[in-house]
A = this chain, B = another copy of it.
Amino acid sequence: MLHPANIFKNLPESFPEGEQFDELLFRGGVTIERIISDGHKTPEGQWLCSGKNEWVVVLEGEGILEFAQNSPVRLARGDYCFIPAGCKHRVADTSQSEKTIWLAIHF
């Protein structure tokens, strides 16, 4: 576990099943996940809602998160945001011109 890996490397060339989710660590009820989007968005009219808290930061690219009960937020490189458990949200858009790399902590 002490051998490092790089979050910006080994990016997918194609996305046959939509955005790509890579679990970097799962331990003690905490999941650390890399998400790569390539213009992907949550299907229209569909909401994401998790029983876990989520903290997310955009490391490259950009995206827009929409919330059922809050104003949407645009997340550019370095922007982070906390999404409490039970908060209905969706990815309204991600960059078309570059891949968007998200780091998400679920707990």
Residues of A in contact with B (beta carbons under 8 Å apart): 1-9, 24-25, 27-30, 32, 53, 55, 57, 59, 67, 70-71, 73, 75-84, 87, 103, 105, 107
CA distance A80 to B80 in the complex (A): 18
Report chain B residues within 8 Å CB of A81: 1-4
10 closest Cβ pairs, A-B complex: A8-B78, A1-B82, A4-B79, A6-B78, A4-B81, A7-B78, A30-B107, A2-B70, A6-B79, A4-B73
**Which of B29, B30, B70 contacts A105, CB < 8 Å?**
B30
CA distance A3 to B105 in the complex (A): 17
Nearest-neighbour CB distance to chain B for A48, whole angstroms, equals 14
**Which of B2, B8, B28 contacts A107, CB < 8 Å?**
B28
* A67 B2 Cβ-Cβ under 8 A: yes
